[in-house]
Structure 1
Amino acid sequence: MMVVSGYIQLNFWEYSAAIAHKYGVKAYASLDESRVKDKKARELRSSTEAYRGRAMNAWNAGMDGICLFNYRDMGNTILKEIGEREILEKLDKFYFTSVRGEGEIAWGGIPHQEFINIPTLNPGHPLSIKPGENSKIFLPVGEDFSHSARDGIYPGIKMYIEYEAPSNINTKAITVKLNGNIMRVDFINERTLEYNVPGSYVKQGMNEVEISVEGSISSPCIISDLYVLIKYSE
């Protein structure tokens, strides 16, 4: 059995599953806690919904099982949920561009940043988009909406982008596309852009979010986080 990740994740789960299966070995995803430093970001990544999303991504990638390291909340329902994708299917979830960021190990560990092949977006490792430029962010979503659709269940989907921009910026200066579909912002404050997402815009597997900033603004737009909420409950 090969258990991968821990506090540092270098590759997508699909890569690890393929390597293990090539040599006839079972691959397990270790969903250790996130150690990003921003309090809000860390709390979101520690939520039950976040663990569900992480587990669903691992199952969708072909992993054979799930591990939890140093997990102490023995009364949490996720211990009864993450072991089977059929149980997870119609439960609320968070999906993040990056759960761990660049990762952090006690006493520093060994240099590993140059070997990371997955997104690391989080408030401690933000993305700067200059005026007149755009950037693509990849977001894995393990959800198979066809299963719930067969039962007439269509979850609500919201996408959140945490950002910093010049105080006088017009929201029209920031264009967001999800898998090529232009998004209309439904709520905005000084830190968060919120979008209601049609189910047809999201696909199972890797999704692409493209963010463009008009050249008319005075300074770069800083993207510090990006995540999606899939909500089945009322």
Structure 2
Amino acid sequence: MKKKLKILRMIVSLSFLFGIAVCCNNSRISSLEKYRELRSEKLNEPRSVIHNNDGCDALYFPIDKEYSAQNFLDIRTSNLIGTGVKTISYCTIASGFGNFTHRTEVGDVLLKHGYEFGINEETRNITSEMIDNGTDPLQVHVEFARENGFEIFWSNRMNDTHDASHRKDKPYFLWSKFKENNPQYLFGDIGERLPNGRWSSVDFTHQEIRNLCIKFYEEVCNNYNVDGVELDFLRHFELFETVGRGGVASKEQRDMLTDMVYQIRKVTEEAGMKRGNPILVLTRIPTSVEYAKKAGIDIERWIEEGLVDIVVGSCYFRLDYWENFAKLGNNKDVKMYAGLSESRVKEEHPLLKRQQNSVYRARAAAAWEAGLDGIYSFNEYDTRSKYLSQIGNPEILKTTNNLYFVTYRDYTADRYLAGGNDYFNTPRLSPTPGNQRSFVDTPLNFNIELGNESYDANVSILLYAEGIKSEDLVVKINDTFATFKNATAEGLFIFEVDQKTIQPGINRLFIDKKGVKSNHQKLKDAAVFFCREKNDPEMKGLINTLNIRY
């Protein structure tokens, strides 16, 4: 094994030299002023949808499938051709910190297999096979992008903590040599439970961590012909040990992180000038400015000082409305994007599933209506999903079946910051235990974000509840009563709505219960459905239940 690692390191070194030669063939940009002018032009090119597939396609390659670049791409990438996706942001894992599936001399090359640790035993890590073939997952995606008209970004998870399950007596395959050799930089001791973070996070208070992170970006920008780089702070949002232990970030800590982002921006400018191709900087952060600041990120300052080009909001939870998030970019040379991650809501009604095309379309329609500049798709492994060809065009979304929810992702914001849930401006309602609402608290009022739904449609309000009778429910939207139509044995209550009462943007949903109220009476979910295509196969069950006629 040691001999193989030595050979791989030699291959990596030779590949770097080759990569530098390739990356520097374009004409050099002579001045920083000209470079920034070209970068601004590049930023303003249309890129309605950015796609990040999570990057573990190399890590979990089918164990019985022969490796080839094409077989690798066919898992999650090839089907992006012909969709609305303009930009691929490819993640080379970084779980944990500095653990990569691209060729690196600064970080660690991730070569271990999950099956060696009893994880995903039907898959294998093909990184070493790719390096043996003179390439790696990032390089294959760079070449794919160039050949097929995509932009290509490199995505780095700033502090991914999937390795927190590591124990001395039960090692985890994503545990890195760096963390093993440098425990002084971690939030805590192995297995230690922290109130607002994980023990395996690296602490950016340490200059050594920040310097190393800058070098990660410098190495990629100099050796891969990327159009942009991503600073993914939401995998995971753990920056400083003091915050993980229940405190808040100090101004000094925010300044540390701002300086690191400044240095990364500088690295992209130097590499982009040499190559003759500007490199954009994308960052993924929470939608609440104050929440982010308490954890260590001063996004307003980053935008004001021109350190980032694209800001993506939301991941496990969304704290603020899209229209407020969009305003951060007003009159600034920055683009604001809605982050659409996969839903992990539990115990959903079978007819009210969030993980379907009609819901992604609805989420995108609401984001476009709020004034955002684009959509960022995260953790979508099935690139054949129909919605990827639709969410980049608001005009298409006016004509489709769209299913909106009060809440799409329902994790707690306390996970990363003490008192984090106090920063929720958006409502929290889902069937997940802990996010249901008691009718004792009625009347219940929720704001629900909608897109431009002016095209003719049958409009229904859908409530998922238990312990109540339909005749006891009072439902209004924008102060107009909805009419009860039907109910199912599983607790789905259906109300008709006059489409004229619906407005683009934020709508007010009012739900009350007549008579005696008890804690056993629960509202689990609320949605608004716009039906235009009765023969939609994905929505057939719901449409039949609604008994919509044309």
TM-score (norm 1): 0.85
- 1:114 to partner: Cα distance: 2.0
Structure 2 CA distance for aligned equivalents of residues 195 and 228 of structure 1: 10
- 1:218 to partner: Cα distance: 5.1
Q: Which structure 1 segments of 5+ residues have no match?
A: 149-153
Tell me, yes or no, if structure 1 residue 72 matches structure 2 residue 381: yes
Tell me, yes or no, if structure 1 residue 209 matches structure 2 residue 509: yes
Per the alignment, residue 164 of structure 1 pairs with 466
Structure 1 CA distance for aligned equivalents of residues 348 and 517 of structure 2: 29
Tell me, yes or no, if structure 1 residue 182 matches structure 2 residue 481: yes
Structure 1 CA distance for aligned equivalents of residues 378 and 421 of structure 2: 22
Give the letter for the 1:80 counterpart.
S
Tell me, yes or no, if structure 1 residue 230 matches structure 2 residue 530: yes
Give the letter for the 1:156 counterpart.
N
Relative CO higher for 1 or 2, CA cutoff 8 Å, sep ≥ 6?
Answer: 1
Per the alignment, residue 421 of structure 2 pairs with 113
One of 105, 124, 127 as aligned partner of 2:437: 127
Conserved 8 A contact 1:35-1:42: no
Conserved 8 A contact 1:35-1:103: no
Give the letter for the 1:181 counterpart.
T
Conserved 8 A contact 2:316-2:410: no
- 1:141 to partner: Cα distance: 1.1
Conserved 8 A contact 1:6-1:31: yes
Structure 1 CA distance for aligned equivalents of residues 381 and 474 of structure 2: 42
- Write the mapping of 1:76-155 to structure 2, written as runs, cut at 5 A: 76-102=385-411, 109-111=416-418, 112-124=420-432, 125-130=435-440, 133-145=442-454, 148=455, 154-155=456-457
Structure 2 CA distance for aligned equivalents of residues 93 and 161 of structure 1: 16
TM-score (norm 2): 0.38
Give the letter for the 1:227 counterpart.
A
- Counterpart secondary structure, 1:44: coil
Per the alignment, residue 15 of structure 1 pairs with 324
- Counterpart secondary structure, 2:461: strand
Structure 2 CA distance for aligned equivalents of residues 119 and 110 of structure 1: 19
Structure 2 CA distance for aligned equivalents of residues 39 and 230 of structure 1: 19
Residue by residue over 1:191-211, the C-alpha shift from the partner in whole angstroms, topping out at 9 and shown as x without a partner, is 111012221121111111212
**Equivalent residue pairs, number:** 220
After alignment, is 221-230 or 19-28 more displaced? 19-28
Residue by residue over 1:150-177, the C-alpha shift from the partner in whole angstroms, topping out at 9 and shown as x without a partner, is xxxx2111110011125xx4x3322111
Give the letter for the 2:497 counterpart.
V
- 1:62 to partner: Cα distance: 0.5
Structure 1 CA distance for aligned equivalents of residues 351 and 311 of structure 2: 27
Tell me, yes or no, if structure 1 residue 59 matches structure 2 residue 368: yes
Conserved 8 A contact 1:102-1:120: no
% identical aligned pairs: 26
Structure 2 CA distance for aligned equivalents of residues 165 and 40 of structure 1: 15
After alignment, is 42-51 or 117-126 more displaced? 42-51
Structure 2 CA distance for aligned equivalents of residues 218 and 126 of structure 1: 15
Instruction: From the two aligned structures, give the one with the greater helix fraction.
Output: 2
Conserved 8 A contact 1:10-1:115: yes
Conserved 8 A contact 1:5-1:31: yes
- 1:14 to partner: Cα distance: 0.7
Conserved 8 A contact 1:41-1:123: no
Q: Which structure 2 segments of 5+ residues have no match?
A: 1-309, 535-550
Structure 1 CA distance for aligned equivalents of residues 395 and 517 of structure 2: 49
Conserved 8 A contact 1:102-1:113: no
- 1:56 to partner: Cα distance: 0.4
- 1:129 to partner: Cα distance: 2.1
- Counterpart secondary structure, 1:99: coil
Q: Compared with structure 1, are the counterparts of its residues 43 and 156 closer, same or farther at alpha carbon in structure 2 (3 Å cutoff)? A: closer
- 1:34 to partner: Cα distance: 1.2
For the pair shown, the structure with the greater C-alpha radius of gyration is: 2
Per the alignment, residue 24 of structure 2 pairs with none
Per the alignment, residue 151 of structure 1 pairs with none
4+ residue runs over 3 A deviation:
39-43, 102-105, 108-111
- 1:116 to partner: Cα distance: 1.5
- Counterpart secondary structure, 1:52: helix
Conserved 8 A contact 2:485-2:494: yes
Structure 1 CA distance for aligned equivalents of residues 378 and 424 of structure 2: 21
